[in-house]
Structure 1
Amino acid sequence: MSHLKHKLGTATVLGGTALVAMLMSSAAWAHEDAERNPGGGPSCPVSHGQLKAAVTQAAAADSTGLNNDFWAVAVTRSGQVCAVAYSGGNIYAQWLLSRQIAAAKAYTANGLSLDAPKGPLSTAQLYGFVQPSPSGGNPLFGLEGGNVLDARAAYDGNVAEFGTPRDPMIGRRVGGTITFGGGLALYDGKRAIGGVGVSGDTACADHSVAWRIRSILKLVPPSPTDTITLTAGATPATGGHPRCPNDTGTQGQTATN
């Protein structure tokens, strides 16, 4: 009998140890979830299905650039990645490098845009203001160094889940600052609600497809002044963006020269 009691006591201790281990594991998972979704945050301006349909439709309609496929990433107003999709037939149908570039474009455009009437700022509009200048006159030179991409958040996880509703970037602030075309803010009326970034082709084609996506989603600002101005030489004086191969049909552009 005493032997049985000893075994039962041991089992109780072991059971308690297992319970503690399980609780500690649950706490660790809860902590990780909190890191991935700090404070819950604002809701995503677009579902995965909506973004997937929009980037697929926009890529098919756009014939600028190299006629590549694209990655599209949406972020919430707080900058968390909340939807990732691609237009091609599989993960490798578009440049894999472009997935995290698209995320950084979305983060940049969202982070530098305000509610109307001050309104949106696109990544394309930053180009001329960040280039090195012999006179040292560019006001935003070095901008990209102040908000670097979180490589761990961008590259972590199972590649098979990239571009799906379970993409490992979901819920994370990947950050990054991109200063060429492809990033636009998203609006619900006058209110900025997030951003979309597109990458996979020339910078002009990325902007063109992002412009189409925003229109398809009906998340356009009241005054869409965040156009790309294609110029032969981009400087702070022009506020322009360099020309790209096959850029004649670029959507969301102002005058070109």
Structure 2
Amino acid sequence: MRFSVLGAAALAAFATFAAAPAMAAPECPVTSADLKKALTKADEADSTGLNNHYWAVVVDRTGVICAVAYSGDKADSQWLLSRQIAAAKAFTANGLSLDGGPISSAMLYPWVQGSPSGGNPLFGLAFGNPLDAATIYDGGFGKFGTDKDPMLGRRLGGTITFGGGLGLYNGKTAIGGLGLSGDTACADHSTAWRTRLKLKLAPSEGSDALTFGDTSGHPHCPNDAGTQGVAE
């Protein structure tokens, strides 16, 4: 009898748990279609790099990939390696940006460099958060960059410490991250900046602009023409 009572209680508890609604995932800041449209226009407008095409990835506030796009005609019209780099940039920018305090992946560059005196405060940062490579390479090649991309709905991690990753905002509220890759680090940042403006998801407070400097900023890239990567 004792076991029957306990069994009944356990079943009742399980039924209550099963009936409880699942917690909804944060809404994706953009659709893949809107990302593709904004990315393509930003790619056409930007001339700060090597005129390559790009991969773009968006994560929601929890770091889950929710939109993927590319600006070329097909998946291999841009560097295939850039697909996972873009994903890691989006994860990096989202993970380090706070409400009213955006941080771009470009801003990390001077803080992660080594030096004869022992390195900077964030030296080795990228090694503490490895990318989930198994998921990156999962699925058929024909699905990459489509609404069936195997990265979608997955949290892949990764940390990138050069230009191309930006936080996404609703006013001053952080709502996700955008990562671009496919050209020089400076052009990645500049085109990501244009893409974010076209999506109307730039922060209303704080600045995550790329700044240049031998020791205090991001290094210049070929063809960047001395721009700050803050394209309108």
Q: Percent identity of the aligned residues?
A: 64
Out of 162, 170, 175, the residue aligned to residue 180 of structure 1 is 162
Out of 223, 243, 248, the residue aligned to residue 220 of structure 2 is 243
Alignment-mate amino acid for residue 218 of structure 2: H
Distance 1:105 1:170 in 2: 15
Which residue does the alignment assign to 1:75? Answer: 59
Which residue does the alignment assign to 1:20? Answer: none
Distance 1:250 1:205 in 2: 10
Distance 1:141 1:152 in 2: 26
Change (3 A) 1:134 1:39: farther
Which residue does the alignment assign to 2:11? Answer: none
Which residue does the alignment assign to 1:201? Answer: 183
Out of 102, 121, 130, the residue aligned to residue 112 of structure 2 is 130
Alignment-mate amino acid for residue 77 of structure 2: A
Structure-to-structure mapping, 1:161-240, within 5 angstroms: 161-231=143-213, 233=214, 235=215, 238=216, 240=217
* Counterpart contact for 2:29–2:60, Cα < 8 Å: yes
Distance 2:163 2:204 in 1: 20
- Once the two structures are TM-superposed, the CA of residue 39 in structure 1 deviates from its matched residue by 5.4
Which residue does the alignment assign to 1:10? Answer: none
Q: What secondary structure is seen at the aligned counterpart in 2 of 1:242?
A: coil
Does residue 95 of structure 2 align to residue 111 of structure 1?
A: yes
* Counterpart contact for 2:93–2:166, Cα < 8 Å: yes
Which residue does the alignment assign to 1:51? Answer: 35
Q: TM-score, normalised by structure 2?
A: 0.87
Out of 34, 46, 54, the residue aligned to residue 62 of structure 1 is 46
Structure 1 stretches lacking a partner, 5+ long: 1-37
Distance 1:67 1:250 in 2: 18
* Counterpart contact for 2:113–2:119, Cα < 8 Å: no
Change (3 A) 1:120 1:217: same
Alignment-mate amino acid for residue 216 of structure 1: K
Change (3 A) 1:86 1:250: farther
- Once the two structures are TM-superposed, the CA of residue 40 in structure 1 deviates from its matched residue by 4.5
Out of 83, 102, 111, the residue aligned to residue 120 of structure 1 is 102
Which residue does the alignment assign to 2:136? Answer: 154
Structure 2 stretches lacking a partner, 5+ long: 1-21
Distance 1:94 1:245 in 2: 18
Distance 2:144 2:39 in 1: 15
Which residue does the alignment assign to 2:25? Answer: 41
Which residue does the alignment assign to 1:32? Answer: none
- Once the two structures are TM-superposed, the CA of residue 224 in structure 1 deviates from its matched residue by 4.5
* Counterpart contact for 1:205–1:250, Cα < 8 Å: no
* Counterpart contact for 1:58–1:213, Cα < 8 Å: yes
Change (3 A) 1:39 1:200: farther
Q: Deviation digits for residues 32-66 of structure 1, max 9, x if unmatched?
A: xxxxxx95421100001000001100000001110
- Once the two structures are TM-superposed, the CA of residue 154 in structure 1 deviates from its matched residue by 1.3
Which residue does the alignment assign to 1:21? Answer: none
- Once the two structures are TM-superposed, the CA of residue 223 in structure 1 deviates from its matched residue by 2.6
Q: What secondary structure is seen at the aligned counterpart in 1 of 2:86?
A: helix
Which residue does the alignment assign to 2:14? Answer: none
Q: Deviation digits for residues 72-127 of structure 1, max 9, x if unmatched?
A: 000000000000000000111000000000000000000000001xx100000000
* Counterpart contact for 1:64–1:250, Cα < 8 Å: no
Of structures 1 and 2, the larger Rg is shown by 1
Q: What secondary structure is seen at the aligned counterpart in 1 of 2:41?
A: helix
